[in-house]
Structure 1
């Protein structure tokens, strides 16, 4: 395994790297403020045709977000570089406007407002990541972006609860006001991303060229690498279902655990998760050989999923406290999920030396992932199951952990078999 430590002056972070890291983190935090802030409310005194309103709101938004992912397979993968900033502003502005509609519309129309809110937001990640991919330090840059998955989702909910508890803001008005607070920082972050430097020649040598992918290009990739990609998508779908369920019903989990009066837990328990996950994920930048880096990501995913299964069993037996279970469970779920964003898809494209972009890989996997997430939430709501939220999460963890571990082992075996008939390509800096 070839590892490079940034000790020389030329390897120190360029100011553009800092711009990209801060810009990506702030940009996606702004998106989360528009997408996730409504989850800070519980909406206990309101029903939607006899059904739990919050579940309907979550499903409605995720449906919009899911359709956005399917649109993104084409739109994001074909997006020209000079149009990215404009589209980011338009997409988030529309999402924020739909939160205003959510605040003022009658209850029966609020789910439709959240569906339209989620419809543009699913494409934000791909557009932001397109500034970061295909660079020698993509893992480091993507780690900053991925930090929002863990830290910002809890942070914006904390801000939402703070507005409700400290300022008496209503649950339906809170999401728009929260998004509005973050919007100026989002605009600044888009400017930062747009003024960052382009990929260098060294970036192109170490990673594959990144270009828009039309329909023929996408089909070419699937014909050449569809088997491994399909297995990776299955893993990603399960991770999305598990992570999304944990994220969407965090307030309910803490309530069932008897800690509903401590909203700061949603931020404080996620900080150690974020720090540990991002440190491990960003360390992939030190591995220059693309095959070794890819294997590193898969093996870490296997370890995490085995850990989730074992830890959940101990939690069920009362051997692990709720706080520690949520923290360690967060690490086990988020690390492989973020490795897909920071390393696995990026290094797969570099490993096979395919001229395209990660946007197509992400959005194919994300579209199917959110389809699965919606399916699980609908099953939980309409199956008449009396299983508690925290118990249902434990079941998902154990089932998903076992399946993911099995599929990851198959991926490693298939790639090892294919590599015997191909020369090993090691890209030097």
Structure 2
């Protein structure tokens, strides 16, 4: 038992962190690079800004990909994962080339098909990292791409346009093409990495593919407590996605559109701090304590989101501080859900399955809500600027998250009690 109490980082862990980070950054270059453009030369269609139409089109494809991924990510065999990953991203890249040349009315269609395969990438990469005693560290490294790479990719896109006169329409494809060889190389190294060992399986339960029967069984047994976590994750996705999609417009509203480096520089401190906090989860061996700490951090982040936004509204803090603090408030719990909360939730219930199944249910509904929020902003008649709308989203989202954390803790404790009762009944009956 002594070995079970040791925390050590192996060469395999370091390889997995690096390759997962590079792989997902490569996917981000194919998915997020078009956001570096503003597409002001295109006409407003039906009251919708053209860029908003492009974003909604891609996110709808990405959202459908999450629903498809509930099945695909849960079932895809390990030997096929490399080919599937490369094929999906290559298809998304090809759609960016189509986007550059198609007429204006068909460009949103190209972005829909660009997003359609890319929503499954995270789950297929995650399978290499979950179910290990150092999973928090590994997935924190992967999740850092959510913060750092989105700004980095957009900065590269703007740089290509400014320094090499790449057109706004060709820029997304060229940015994705720059990163694609690195993506393929990283996925190859992931595919030949070592899987979880016996100690990992003892601490986190064995992770296995889940067919239709297993997925239905999990929802039947634990769907009630899982629902609360999904609702929190949906709110985090909405706030995070809106911030990410329109960060160029936010800086424009704040009078700083001439400083593209801000999109990377403001995200670096967020990425570093969130990565360190999330990675420290490996020090907490108790699944129950780790889960509770993750939920406590989510509650504190929700409160911080509310306070810093109120301070910004009252002009008591500047825009750079607010963008960093609001980013930290959403990204810390968002990444903790990826690398700790869902991971420890399934380990806490001692359920043999894959955490990717949990993510893809939560992600699917998260992106569905994200599309709904963007459409609502366009058709609601609100005359808010991007920044004003985002401040309202922060305030409402923060309050709802704080409430849902408390409700979810009660639901999970109730579910755990039912698990213990079932075990005692099984022992009593001799089963």
Band the TM-score falls in, shorter-chain normalisation: over 0.9
Residues in 1 aligned to 2:340 and 2:357: alpha-carbon distance in whole angstroms: 15
Residue of structure 2 equivalent to 1:262 = 259
Select which of 11, 15, 19 maps to 2:11: 15
Q: Is residue 2:123 matched to residue 1:110?
A: no
Maintained 8 Å contact 1:48/1:108: no
Q: Is residue 2:27 matched to residue 1:31?
A: yes
Residue of structure 2 equivalent to 1:245 = 242
Alignment deviations for residues 366-396 of structure 1 (CA, whole Å, 9 cap, x no partner): 0000000000001111223211111111111
Residue of structure 2 equivalent to 1:292 = 289
Number of residue pairs matched?
A: 419
Alignment deviations for residues 251-271 of structure 1 (CA, whole Å, 9 cap, x no partner): 000000000100000000000
Aligned runs of 1:74-223 on 2, under 5 Å? 74-223=71-220
Residues 238 and 298 of structure 1, relative CA distance in 2, 3 Å threshold: same
Residues 53 and 305 of structure 1, relative CA distance in 2, 3 Å threshold: same
Residues in 1 aligned to 2:174 and 2:120: alpha-carbon distance in whole angstroms: 22
Residues in 1 aligned to 2:194 and 2:161: alpha-carbon distance in whole angstroms: 41
**Please, which moves more after superposition, 89-98 or 214-223?**
214-223
Select which of 45, 54, 59 maps to 1:49: 45
Residues in 1 aligned to 2:76 and 2:225: alpha-carbon distance in whole angstroms: 25
Residues in 1 aligned to 2:95 and 2:325: alpha-carbon distance in whole angstroms: 35
Residues in 1 aligned to 2:185 and 2:414: alpha-carbon distance in whole angstroms: 48
Residues in 1 aligned to 2:343 and 2:147: alpha-carbon distance in whole angstroms: 20
CA RMSD across the alignment: 1.6
Q: CA deviation at 1:41?
A: 0.3
Alignment deviations for residues 125-147 of structure 1 (CA, whole Å, 9 cap, x no partner): 00000000000000000011001
3-state SS in 2 of match to 1:42: coil
Select which of 36, 39, 53 maps to 1:40: 36
TM norm structure 2: 0.95
Maintained 8 Å contact 2:235/2:401: yes
Aligned runs of 1:276-355 on 2, under 5 Å? 276-355=273-352
Alignment deviations for residues 287-320 of structure 1 (CA, whole Å, 9 cap, x no partner): 0000111011000000000110111111100001
Maintained 8 Å contact 1:16/1:197: yes
Maintained 8 Å contact 2:9/2:134: no
3-state SS in 2 of match to 1:272: helix
Select which of 216, 225, 229 maps to 2:226: 229
For structure 2, the residue ranges without an aligned partner over 5 or more in a row are: 424-431
Residues 420 and 375 of structure 1, relative CA distance in 2, 3 Å threshold: closer
TM norm structure 1: 0.95
Maintained 8 Å contact 1:5/1:286: no
Q: CA deviation at 1:17?
A: 1.1
Q: CA deviation at 1:181?
A: 0.3
Residues in 1 aligned to 2:49 and 2:420: alpha-carbon distance in whole angstroms: 57
Residues in 2 aligned to 1:183 and 1:420: alpha-carbon distance in whole angstroms: 48
